[in-house]
């Protein structure tokens, strides 16, 4: 009668010694500096400078703005497809209004020197700019009021920048 099969036993081996010996000397430890802490303003400036290296400062920010175009044929405001964070910036050349589009690759970049007229209404900040050819393009910026004064602050900043480049209201 054959002997019952016994389970094979594993050979017990000791783990090889660890070649890295612990040390109490601080200079033996690799140093990894923590990443520098950056403020939101610094992060926003670095993003904007990728698009516009001449950006000096951010004068005003709105978390969300929607760009509308006025259709003369229908007499209605139509969404342009550009929606995202709004920045009013001072550059080496003057001032720009930027909306970084969350829905596509086309951003709004508006040099304030090109704006012919600015009108602040309860719903929109209306900007008249040169259009294609001889015409005029009318844009409306709807600024989400995440705080009570967000709309007023941003519209006021854009209006002040426009007045500066036009020489209006400058003392």
Q: What is the DSSP string of 84-134?
A: EEEEEEEESSSEEEEEEESSSS--EEEEGGG--EEEE-SS-EEEEEE-STT
pTM of the model: 0.74
Specify the pLDDT at position 34.
72
As a whole number of angstroms, the distance between CA 156 and CA 166 comes to 15
Please, which pLDDT band fits residue 16 given cuts at 50, 70 and 90? Answer: low
Helices then strands, counting H and E runs in the chain, come out as 2, 7
Specify the pLDDT at position 72.
86
Specify the pLDDT at position 51.
86
Instruction: Please write the tens of the pLDDT for every residue from 23-63.
Output: 666 666 666 777 778 888 899 999 999 988 999 999 999 99
Task: Find the DSSP H helices in the chain.
Answer: 40-51, 150-166
- Cβ-based neighbours of 3, under 8 Å, separated by 6 or more: none
Which residues of 14-75 form beta strands (DSSP E)? 55-71
Q: Is 49 among the domain residues?
A: no
| pLDDT top residue among 166 and 23 | 166
Q: Is 19 among the domain residues?
A: no
- 8 A C-beta contact, residue 44 and residue 57: no
Instruction: Please write the tens of the pLDDT for every residue from 55-89.
Output: 999 999 999 999 999 998 899 999 999 999 999 99
- Looking at the DSSP bridge assignments, the partners of residue 128 are 117, 138
Q: Is 41 among the domain residues?
A: no
CA nearest to 161, candidates 46, 43, 57, 41: 57
Indicate which CATH number applies to the domain containing 130: 2.30.29.30
Widest pairwise Cα distance in the chain: 115
Residue 80 is part of which domain span? 58-166
Q: Is 120 among the domain residues?
A: yes
Specify the pLDDT at position 123.
86
Specify the pLDDT at position 170.
47
Q: Is 6 among the domain residues?
A: no
Count of domains for the chain: 1
Please, which pLDDT band fits residue 149 given cuts at 50, 70 and 90? Answer: confident
- Cβ-based neighbours of 45, under 8 Å, separated by 6 or more: 55, 57, 58
């Amino acid at each position: 009668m054959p002997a019952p099969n016994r389970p094979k036993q594993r050979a017990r081996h000791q783990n090889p010694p660890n070649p890295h010996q612990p040390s109490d000397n601080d200079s033996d430890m690799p140093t990894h500096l923590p990443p520098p802490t950056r403020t939101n303003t610094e992060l926003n400036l670095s993003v904007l400078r990728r698009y516009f290296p001449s950006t000096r400062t951010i004068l005003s920010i709105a978390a969300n703005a929607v760009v509308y175009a006025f259709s003369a044929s229908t007499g209605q405001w139509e969404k342009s497809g550009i929606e995202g964070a709004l920045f009013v910036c001072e550059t080496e050349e003057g001032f720009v209004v930027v909306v970084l589009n969350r829905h596509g690759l086309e951003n709004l970049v508006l040099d304030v020197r090109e704006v012919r007229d600015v009108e602040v209404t309860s719903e929109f900040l209306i900007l008249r700019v040169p259009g294609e050819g001889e015409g005029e393009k009318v844009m409306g910026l709807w600024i989400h009021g995440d705080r009570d004064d967000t709309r007023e602050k941003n519209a006021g900043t854009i209006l002040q920048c426009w007045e500066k480049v036009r020489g209006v209201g400058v003392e």
